[in-house]
Structure 1
Amino acid sequence: MNLHEYQAKLLLNRYGVPIQRGVLIEQKEDAEKAFAQLQEETGTTWAVVKAQIHAGGRGKGGGVKLAKNLDEVKTHVDNILGMMLKTPQTPGGLEGPGKLVRKVLLTEDVYYPDPETGEMDTNEFYMSILTDRAKECNVIVYSTEGGMDIEEVAEKTPHLVHKEYVHPHLGLQGFQMRRIAFNLGLSGAAYKSMTKFVNSLYAAFVGADASLVEINPCLKTSDNKIVAADSKVSLDENALYRHKDLAEWNDETEEDPTEVEAKKYGLNFVKLDGNVGCMVNGAGLAMATMDIIKLSGGEPANFLDVGGTADAQRVENAFRIILRDPAIKAILINVFGGIVRCERIAQGVVDAYKNIGDINVPIVVRLQGNGADKAKGIIDESGLAVHSAVTLQEAADLVNKVVAG
């Protein structure tokens, strides 16, 4: 589950991570009040208006603006709130429709001169924590090249990207925090601030059951504080039962409406760009099905796992979701009867035909395993115009053939 920046900062601050403070704005008329509140709480004279959407590259798309006074705050809030923001990471990229900005975060200015010397001495770093499955441990990825696309940094200057692997049982050690601060070129007060920052950030990652925590930029201010100037946090949905307060932060308006509906039906669904609808039981088999469709010359339109306890109703709901995509030219049902019996799936197919009405796309069905014979009988006796296949390769070839007409 992805969090907005303002939510991610609230979460990180619970664990002692210093953040760039801000005030959330959802109505344009609240801009003046929010700016007054921000100035009272932080003492800032300038502010930054930041669009809140689940996508990176907001600044490139015009979703992050610096405001030097109240009039500029009002102007930027008025322009950004309600805009369709396009970034390289929104659906369709810069050529796509973009995402509607429903909230903006008004934040304090953290790029200020040293209060004592008057000198401007800031540094932007990159830092993230995620799980390295190959090494079976968490890893802290960091670089002196903050504020940039880390993929570009890794490609062009890989020596500037450092990794610190954390032992799953021993946890993050003091020498590792110090090594991170040293590799970032810090000393003195900034060095100490960074070690504390890394310690708190890792505590947040583990404590919140996150799958990703990314700070870009992680800022060293002119007075040697380390601050999360931006933050991206993804939570492991399988662990949300332990964090019911965080589960309530889920913003369904940022998700694909079809995927949200599928979740309510207990379906694992991800929309893709192809034209072959897939309905499969089991995530591994679903991945294999999409692979073989692709290898056979087709383009899968979705990942859809009906689960090991699927019944006729769930299959019907899956049909409705797949058929909602106008790009669909054929549907491949691939079920291996193990926990779920094949006749349940077959009955769901028959019920879907009856309840949905005209299904004007060809359907290829491959049912193998527990109850396959009974399932074949159910479909044969229904009189439905479906194509049967025995092997997975045969099913893939057949679905590509019917797509081609």
Structure 2
Amino acid sequence: MAIIRAGQRVWTRVPRPQLYTRSRRDFSSSSVRSGYEDTVHNLRIGKHTRVIYQGFTGRVATGNAKDSLAYGTNIVGGVTPGKEGEHLGLPLLPNLKRAKELLKPDATAVFVAAPQCASAIEDAIEAEIPLIVAVAEHIPLHDIMRVTSILKTQSKSRLVGANAPGIIAPIGSCRIGFQPLPTFAPGHIGIAAKSGTLSYETVASITRSGLGQSLCIGMGGDIIAGTNLVDALKVFEADPQTEGIVLVGEVGGRAEEDAAEWIKEYRRRVRDPKPIAALVGGQFAPSGRIMGHAGAWAAKGERSAMEKYSVLLEAGVTMVDHPENFGGVMKTLLAQSGRDVKRITKDGAAQQKRGYHTFRQQSITSGGSSRVAQFQQKQQQERKLHLRPDQAPEPLEPYLAQVKGLSLSPEEAPSDAFYVSVTVDRTERAPALATAPTANPSQVNQRVRKFPYDWRHGPSDSTINQAIEHMHLGSAPPAAAKQINSLLRSLAKMYKDKEAVTLSGTVSIDHKTGNLVLHQPSLILQFDDGAFRSNKRQEDIHSLRQKETEVAEEVEAENDGIVYVRLDDPEANIGTLVNGAGLAMNTVDALRLHGGKAANFLDTGGKATSETVKRSFEIILRDPRVKVIFVNIFGGLTDGGMIAEGILLAFKEVDMKGVPVLVRIRGTNEEKGQKIVAESGLGLEAFDGFAEAAKRVVEVANSR
């Protein structure tokens, strides 16, 4: 196991397929059925890939297509319902059936807003388009579960996303998504990431090192992803152009654990495995909070980001603490593996004349990326409504009424209680019953087990029986055994009816009556905010939200399109202002590793403006703990010059209270941003590298 030191620390389950019954939306025309796992090869895009757009004539799709065409992507046309003719000099067709027949696409870029996006994906599955890339954020969770239940019934179409930057093959000049093109360069490193901003900084580091990228796959930050890290690993293993692999994970789900299991098996069976490095964001994320991305939270039974870090390390993966280190780390790992680093670097450098340092000057960086950011990150706030136990009985009541003999108790659960839940199994891309034979907080995480089922049909008798069996209720009175069966069915029905994310609680058996008791203080009811924000569904549930009981600064930030989470450590003294949820999580983590403590998580979002930056400063300064503000920007979709202008605006219009501001701007228009900061005359300190900036931020914070 390699240990590499360069200024800071750097260390060195494959899902089981489920069988589903066919429905009217089961689209595979093949009489010999395989499965969704067999579509992983569709991720191998390049010059050969014929790309179409859904929503082709929309403003965002048009700008994106112009940039992708200039990049070299083989776009052959697109679809807008009810329209036919030409757009951007390419065929425009009214439906996917015609597009499939006439254009013979290999991939479709779904640039359709969240309310209609799931239906657009289903249309693409029905048309058997091999690769479907969906970039929209806030597609309702249950819409995606419907889509993934359909995907499992066929073996023609593969989904990337949703809420993902997409997929790009720099070595083949093929972009399907909204990645910031100046950052990418052709080369030999494969990258798969949950976070867009973290992946962009990773890409920039790889580009600066001269290695470049072969294929970059955005898994996306939603709860359920059409393509996960294991899928990406399978492609990278088979790709002869990929010499090394980088994974970028974060808190939430078990994609990183699944990847670690795959990597262990890969390293056992392959004589000369490709070197793999990884990062996991959110190691110091507070428990139970959503950190910007819809999927950035850990459910019962899921490991923390720090634990996932250790699992990957144990699998032989080289772990890094900040994405700017990936370039140097990968060069070292390639050399240690016996690969010809000079050749690999030469191949990359030879193709990087249109790369990071020069490509940005071309007209390709139009307003397309910023428009996509607004499209993709609109309404980027909380993705779950969490009802308190005292609010829970109202939506629960009609479902509990179906469980005869069950009582709802205001008392805390006794020591012999059991855990019951309906939640998401992210690996299986499906809802699941989750049970444990205990409700003891110190044991339930280790003993909870998930039992996934088909979203369309609900849990089967056998699935319910397995979930009950895991609770060790063999000696329960007959009444209680019948009631737990009925309760799980009722919760599963409510889960689908009300578009929940998690419904959970603890139950016990009243030894006097033999009946089941559900304990109200233990209830956790979480509902998908995307269903309400995007589609205006479940208004009765979301009307129960009580903003006055929430952290005022967090609500204010939400109203301004900012994601702000106050971190409760009383010793924290560093305010953070970052663009992108993944990068914001990693900033909190990396500051801690440099000896500092962040007072907040703040993501300005991809639609950040100078006004947004100003409002971010105002919110941060409301916290009296803050002794210094660290602005950490990687300009992928966000313009570094704009961020710098926002900082100057803040100093003009906001009482900064004498709090020093240190700024790190990299990426798009970094020179402009750095120059604005340096020439501001405001005494701002500007930095290039993260390690240098973090060290200085901690020093300033501790001196005040």
TM-score, structure 2 length as denominator? Answer: 0.40
Aligned to 2:585: 287
1: CA distance between counterparts of 2:525 and 2:508?
14
Q: 1:260 is matched by which residue type in structure 2?
A: V
Give the CA deviation at 1:366: 1.0
Partner-residue secondary structure (3-state), 2:391: helix
2: CA distance between counterparts of 1:184 and 1:268?
43
Is residue 458–residue 492 contact of structure 2 (8 Å, CA) maintained in 1? Answer: no
Is residue 166–residue 172 contact of structure 1 (8 Å, CA) maintained in 2? Answer: yes
2: CA distance between counterparts of 1:218 and 1:265?
44
Partner-residue secondary structure (3-state), 1:327: coil
Q: CA RMSD in A?
A: 3.1
Gapped runs of 5+ residues in structure 1? 22-43, 51-57, 61-110, 112-122
1:130 to 423, 447, 453: 423
Aligned to 2:436: 143
Is residue 640–residue 673 contact of structure 2 (8 Å, CA) maintained in 1? Answer: yes
Aligned to 1:107: none
Aligned to 2:686: 388
* Aligned: 1:184 with 2:476: no
Give the CA deviation at 1:20: 11
2: CA distance between counterparts of 1:349 and 1:321?
14
* Aligned: 1:234 with 2:526: yes
Is residue 309–residue 340 contact of structure 1 (8 Å, CA) maintained in 2? Answer: yes
After superposing the two structures, state which structure 1 stretch, 9-18 or 277-286, moved more: 9-18
Give the CA deviation at 1:151: 2.9
Aligned to 1:255: 550
After superposing the two structures, state which structure 1 stretch, 285-294 or 218-227, moved more: 218-227
Deviations for 1:95-127, whole angstroms, at most 9, x for unmatched residues?
xxxxxxxxxxxxxxxx9xxxxxxxxxxx84321
Partner-residue secondary structure (3-state), 1:399: helix
2: CA distance between counterparts of 1:129 and 1:221?
26
Question: Using a 3 Å threshold, how does the CA distance of structure 1 residues 191 and 152 change in structure 2: closer, same or farther?
Answer: closer
1:59-98 aligned within 5 A: none
Give the CA deviation at 1:16: 5.1
Aligned to 1:9: 393
Deviations for 1:375-403, whole angstroms, at most 9, x for unmatched residues?
22332332111111101222211211222
Is residue 20–residue 229 contact of structure 1 (8 Å, CA) maintained in 2? Answer: no
Moved over 6 A (4+): none
Aligned to 1:345: 643
Give the CA deviation at 1:196: 1.8
Give the CA deviation at 1:278: 0.7
Is residue 364–residue 388 contact of structure 1 (8 Å, CA) maintained in 2? Answer: yes
Partner-residue secondary structure (3-state), 1:367: strand
Aligned to 2:632: 334
1: CA distance between counterparts of 2:628 and 2:690?
16
1: CA distance between counterparts of 2:421 and 2:542?
22
Aligned to 1:215: 505
Aligned to 1:270: 565
* Aligned: 1:199 with 2:493: no
Question: Using a 3 Å threshold, how does the CA distance of structure 1 residues 220 and 198 change in structure 2: closer, same or farther?
Answer: farther
Give the CA deviation at 1:319: 0.2
Q: 1:266 is matched by which residue type in structure 2?
A: G
Aligned to 2:349: none
Deviations for 1:317-352, whole angstroms, at most 9, x for unmatched residues?
110111111111111111112222112211111111
Give the CA deviation at 1:168: 5.2
2: CA distance between counterparts of 1:303 and 1:250?
23
Aligned to 2:459: 172
Aligned to 1:90: none
Q: 1:214 is matched by which residue type in structure 2?
A: S
Q: 1:142 is matched by which residue type in structure 2?
A: T
Question: Using a 3 Å threshold, how does the CA distance of structure 1 residues 247 and 20 change in structure 2: closer, same or farther?
Answer: farther
Aligned to 2:201: none
2: CA distance between counterparts of 1:367 and 1:127?
47
Is residue 20–residue 228 contact of structure 1 (8 Å, CA) maintained in 2? Answer: no
Give the CA deviation at 1:162: 4.8
TM-score, structure 1 length as denominator? Answer: 0.67
Partner-residue secondary structure (3-state), 2:480: helix
Q: Tell me the matched-pair count.
A: 307
2: CA distance between counterparts of 1:400 and 1:267?
25
